[in-house]
Amino acid sequence: MKKSIIILLTFVLTCSIFPSAKAADTAHAAAPIDPLVYQQMLGKGMDVDWCKTAAGMSLYRSDVPKDFKQAGISHVRIRVKDEATAGVLALLERQVSDCLETGLIPIIAYQADELKKDPSDKNLRRVEAWWRTVSEHFQDESFLLSFDLIIEVTDALKNQPERLNEIYERLVSVVRESNPERIVMISPRLRSDATYLRDLTIPSAANGYLMAEWHFYASGPSKENPRKLWTSGTAEEKALIQEKIDLALQWQEETGVPTWVGAWMPGNYNEGNTYTVDEQVAFASYMTQSLTDAGIPFAINADSHFYDREQHKWLEDMQPVFMAIYGAQALPFQDVPEGAWYQSAVSYVYRRQLFSGISATIFSPQHAMTRQQMWMVMARLKNVRPQSMEEARQWAVSTGLSDGSNPMTEVTRQQMVTFLWRLSGSRDTQNTLDQYNDFTEIAPYATKAMGWAVEKGLLSGTTPHTLTPNGAVTRAQAAVILARYDAIL
């Protein structure tokens, strides 16, 4: 009980210094941070290769962390594989500084490949030297910066739990020479599997500033591998995820050491990329919710799958997956103001890729939609991706959605809800709509569809006494109706 009170007070005091993990002046975190508080601050992050690959290093710009922060990312795991040369340290220092200035929490993670392949004393001394150099270089930096000692324990070292504990004992001691109160992270063997958290020994120099990094699905799910199987999200597939989370929570409870998932991937990008965007969204949504419910922060693997480093912008085709993980991203449209009645609906259609703006920065919410544009939207709702408006028209005709006539005319309110009504199975309704003065203007084909739409809350009157069935549907109105349709399914 006493420990809980102390932790709570620490959290309150820390929050008074840092109002939230999104604060802009987090670069000035001069006081040590309790690992339990740090765990809550980490939130949703991303693995980055800014200091690992040649492309990552050469294409890095100081405004990149700002892009990440504005997109809803709270921390970055900066992976490093090279020796701690003056050039590497200078680049790392620049990246850490850029992150802190924009309110992004940086974690330096070292690859230590040679040590994993051959965990000899010679290779351990090299890694000790690396961390001594890095920790001394950053000893006066904000306590928001943390050190992840070894990225994913693989190769020969994965089968030597006793040796791994010896290595952590020595590496933590090295860091503590210059950083007695900075958070350091250790990870279990066999690719940081939560099952083997139980094999870890807490280093004697941990000093209360220790976390454990573990991960799963770091290279994405699989449609064949039973250990990381994900097809449609069956109960058995979800249980695989929950099993690892439960193991981590149990270890946290037993040791008092908080954990963090340092890498998971929404698709098998490096192994064929065989999951559709919708399948990735389903997997990512479940993973995100499960880890969030457990209070375990995580980082997504990795930046190059979501961010165009040459153009310095987020990849359009990955937005549905990105937004399933990080939530509603700031829209790129200049004419969708914050708090507009249609803003969340525009976010929905943009995330689902049902339709976008008329340009990269203009949504044109009051502009009417045409029938052919609506056929394209309906096809996308059914996970069909026509390559042209003509293909969308042919699909609409073949499915009985529309007769395919007048593709360039503005779609009306009654036509749009009729399309949705037919998509949902042409359900019956007893709603006659005679409470509206203009109900006689509803076409015979749309009578039940309009009644169903009003009954389900998809459509409301343009006034308390009118429905305006022949009125054109604006892009903002279409977005709202589609978001409501998604909510009732």
Residues 49 and 109 in one domain: yes
- The answer to whether 450 and 470 have CB atoms below 8 angstroms apart is no
For residue 86, the enclosing domain spans: 2-326
Is 349 part of any domain?
yes
pLDDT of res. 1: 38
State the average pLDDT over residues 141-145.
Answer: 97
Number of domains in the chain: 2
Is 119 part of any domain?
yes
Choose the weakest-confidence range: 1-15, 218-232, 338-352, 418-432: 1-15
Last residue of a domain, one of 292, 326, 360: 326
Last residue of a domain, one of 291, 326, 361: 326
In whole angstroms, give the CA distance from residue 380 to residue 384. Answer: 5
In whole angstroms, give the CA distance from residue 482 to residue 348. Answer: 8
Choose the weakest-confidence range: 59-68, 250-259, 333-342, 468-477: 333-342
Residues 304 and 420 in one domain: no
pLDDT of res. 328: 56
CATH number, domain with residue 220? 3.20.20.80
229 in helix, strand or coil? strand
pLDDT tens digits, 101-136: 999 999 999 999 999 999 999 999 999 999 999 999
pLDDT of res. 330: 59
Rounded to an integer, what is the distance from CA 65 to the centroid of its chain?
16
pLDDT of res. 232: 92
Is 400 part of any domain?
yes
pLDDT of res. 350: 83
State the average pLDDT over residues 373-377.
Answer: 96
Place of tokens 């990381």: 228
How confident is residue 265, by pLDDT bands cut at 50, 70 and 90?
very high
Asked whether the predicted pLDDT for residue 339 surpasses 70, the reply is yes
Residues 59 and 114 in one domain: yes
Last residue of a domain, one of 259, 294, 326: 326
Give the number of other CB atoms < 10 A from CB of residue 141.
19
Is 279 part of any domain?
yes
pLDDT tens digits, 390-402: 999 999 999 999 9
